Amino acid sequence: MSVPRFWREIPQRYNLQAAKCGACEGVYFPPREVCPACRRASIGKMAPMRLSGVGTIVEWTRVHKPAPGYEMQVPYTVALIQAPEGPLLTGQVVDSASEAIHVGAHVRSVFRRVGQDGEAGVIHYGTKWVVEARGAEARSDAVPTGKATDGKRRKGRNKALFQPPVRSP
């Protein structure tokens, strides 16, 4: 089995997969084998659960001084996102106007490139977040999501790797 295939076969790598405790119904992200509340009572009762991929910004910050290797990405925004299922997630907010990012803004998950191992190495993908325009917040000049914003066409996307978030009515 090749290294890229190995990483693709880890469900939580390309999906927002959490774990739900069968004893207390608590939802934990990232997935855990043992519930931190129930401890031994949860052994064998933790079930995988896919998060909806939507949430609300609880707090956010804009990074101007990057960690080594991320110099080309500054400034970027990182937020704490409250998922409706319960977990508090951390993620980068992308493809959103600066004024649209605020506490209480509704966001949805998107699948984006996270990094690459060297010049010709394995490309890593992961979940980032986009602010959803709702009602009075809707802007006509917002960047369309799901499209490349750098003018480049994306080739070779394997759509089977990522399943879009489950939407509830």
According to DSSP H, which parts of the chain are helical? Answer: 3-8, 11-14
Mean pLDDT of all residues belonging to the chain: 78
Rounded to whole angstroms, what are the CA distances from 142 to 8, 107, 127? 32, 14, 20
Write the pLDDT tens digit of every residue in 70-128.
788 899 999 999 999 999 999 999 999 999 999 999 999 998 888 777 777 778 788 99
Q: What is the mean pLDDT of residues 118-147?
A: 66
Q: What pLDDT score does 13 carry?
A: 64
Eight-state DSSP code of residue 90: E
Domain boundaries, the chain: 52-139
* Residue 136 neighbours by CB under 8 Å, 6+ apart: none
Residue 77 · residue 101 · CB < 8 Å: yes
Nearest in space to 139 (alpha carbons), one of 95, 108, 169: 95
80 or 4, greater pLDDT: 80
- For residue 163 the two structure tokens come to 């399943």
Nearest in space to 19 (alpha carbons), one of 96, 87, 114: 87
Which fold would CATH assign to domain 52-139? OB fold (Dihydrolipoamide Acetyltransferase, E2P) (2.40.50)
Q: What is the mean pLDDT of residues 29-57?
A: 92
